[in-house]
Structure 1
Amino acid sequence: MQVIPVIDIRHGAVVRAIAGRRDEYAPIETPLAPSCAPLDVACGLMALHSFETLYIADLDAIEARGENSGAIVRICEAFPKLRLWVDAGIRSLDEARDRAQSPCVDPVIGSENCADVASLEPLRNDSRVILSLDYLGERFLGNPLLQDCDAFWPERVIVMTLARVGAGAGPDVARVAAFAKRAKGRRVYAAGGVRGMEDLHALKVAGAAGALVATALHDGRLTREDLLRLAQK
């Protein structure tokens, strides 16, 4: 069961996500880092555990009001062996290919930004591309074809339940299990609501290959010892 820490960046700072209500996101205060600077937070997470992968959501790019590529490049330079899954609001095939130019970045296509599914279809066979199926409550964000037709799915799929992010409500295990059953050998990752080891165990039983986690790491509900035990299994 892979744990993938999450960094949400807005206006050059890491913010604490709350239930998908982006207007309420504020700069993070965490015992893992001396500031909310993206590199500081990344360093704090890597000091906690030698993670193989870090997920970055560039909220300014997702909302089409700027971007934080400089911060992402600095993290790449500081941790050249770290894989970065980057959601930067990809809206076209060209944008996805541009993101893939960086050797340490795997581009994440978020369904909320992907209206023209057909234009992205060639990427489903690209091993570096990741699809995020985004939900706000029961509402799917994006073209319904992406959730209904697994022929569009690449090798890795994130089931993103935004309303549970940072809300302490637990992950949507049933939804993750439903997608895992349809995955046909693809790897499914859960995002949103993980509170600790019990939730990770439930997601593993449901068929998830891993989970994206933020709050539980910063609040100490997933400890260094927990992460070591997971890595040794």
Structure 2
Amino acid sequence: MQVIPVLDLLDGQVVRAVRGERSAYRPIQSRLVATSDPLATARALLEASGARTLYIADLGAILQRGAHASTLAALRAALPGIELWLDAGFADYASMRALFERIDAAVDQLDRPAANSNLATLVPVFGSETLREIHALHAAQRAGLAPILSLDHRAGELLTATALDRSSAWWPSRVIAMTLDQVGSYAGPALATFERLHAQAAAHTTLIGAGGIRNRADLAAAAGTGASAWLVASALHDRQIDCAPSDSA
């Protein structure tokens, strides 16, 4: 099972998530890196996990305090070959497209060698907590962006910004089972929620878990539920798990 590291951005810094209670997030203190700088932290997480994918939660955008367009542009330019999954509280396709265009414009303003023109791939993550238009996923798919749906949960209940079809018929090919109250909790992954969604998913759906991983035993338990990958932050920062580049649980 793949470990996908998580970068939470707020006020220009990487912060540590605490049970999805965003008012409690503080600049990261990590055993991997002695800074909360986004690029340095991203590189440390990717090296520690051996991953080629990085999940980014732009909390400034989610909390409507301003998206980190310039920071995201710098990450795109500095991490060629990496897939950046971006959750920025998108309500619809138009808001996603507008931020992507701002990031592209910020990339164009960077002072970088022409030979280093390769960019990280930016992938939109639409969270049920903020999504108001499910057709946004289809629009992003038609635009060639391979969107991801995050089904955001708290206390086992789905969080939604609007009424959503509770079937899996409209899900894209990649779906995250996000359990916000497990994030940064060291309480273990919410396997029951994941298993329920896994049973509901179509055969072609790739389901990714998020939240609660403490150690390699948790990774093994998560893999046993059929998860293809799991989003991890705290256990990487605290060196509770150590992944080789081709690691699987």
TM, length-normalised to structure 2: 0.85
**Cα offset, 1:158, TM superposition:** 0.3
SS state of the match for residue 230, structure 2?
strand
Aligned AA (2:207): V
Q: Structure 2, unaligned stretches of length 5 or more?
A: 105-119
Report the Cα offset of residue 99 of structure 1. 5.4
The answer to which structure, 1 or 2, has the higher relative contact order (CA under 8 A, 6+ apart) is: 2
In structure 2, relative to structure 1, the CA distance for the partners of 1:215 and 1:48 (3 Å cut) is same
Q: Report the count of equivalent residues.
A: 229
Residue 35 of structure 1 aligns with which residue?
35
1:101-159 CA deviation, whole Å, 9 max, x = no partner? Answer: 6661010001111123345454467661000000121332113525x121121000001
> Does 2:200 correspond to 1:207?
no
- What is the identity, as a one-letter code, of the residue corresponding to 2:148? I
Q: What is the DSSP-based 3-state SS (H/G/I as helix, E as strand, rest coil) of the residue aligned with 2:125?
A: strand
**1: CA distance between counterparts of 2:170 and 2:100?**
19
The residue that corresponds to 2:113 in the other structure is: none
Give the conservation status (yes or no) of the 8 Å contact 1:56–1:87: yes
Aligned CA distance change for structure 1 residues 14 and 174 (closer, same or farther; 3 Å) = same
Q: Comparing 180-189 with 2-11, which one deviates more in the overlay?
A: 180-189
State the match for 2:156 in structure 1: 138
Match of 1:162 in 2: 180
Deviations 1:9-61 (CA, angstroms, capped at 9, x unpaired): 00000000001111110000112122101111012123324311000000010
| Percent of matched pairs sharing the same residue | 38
* Aligned mates of 2:189, 2:63 — CA distance in 1: 25
Show the counterpart of 2:52: 52
Match of 2:67 in 1: 67
**1:180-215 CA distance string (max 9 Å, x none):** 122212000000101121111111111111000000
Give unpaired runs (5+ residues) of structure 1.
Answer: none
Name the SS of the counterpart of 2:247 in structure 1: helix
1:227 paired to 2:218: no
1:124/1:155 contact within 8 Å kept: no
Matched, 1:107 2:124: yes
**What is the TM-score when the length of structure 1 is the normalising length?**
0.90
2:129 alignment partner, SS class: helix
1:100 positional shift: 6.0
Question: Which has the greater radius of gyration?
Answer: 2
Q: Over aligned residues, Cα RMSD in angstroms?
A: 2.0
- For residues 123 and 204 of structure 1, what CA distance do their matches in structure 2 show? 29
Distance in 1 of aligned mates of 2:18 and 2:73: 26
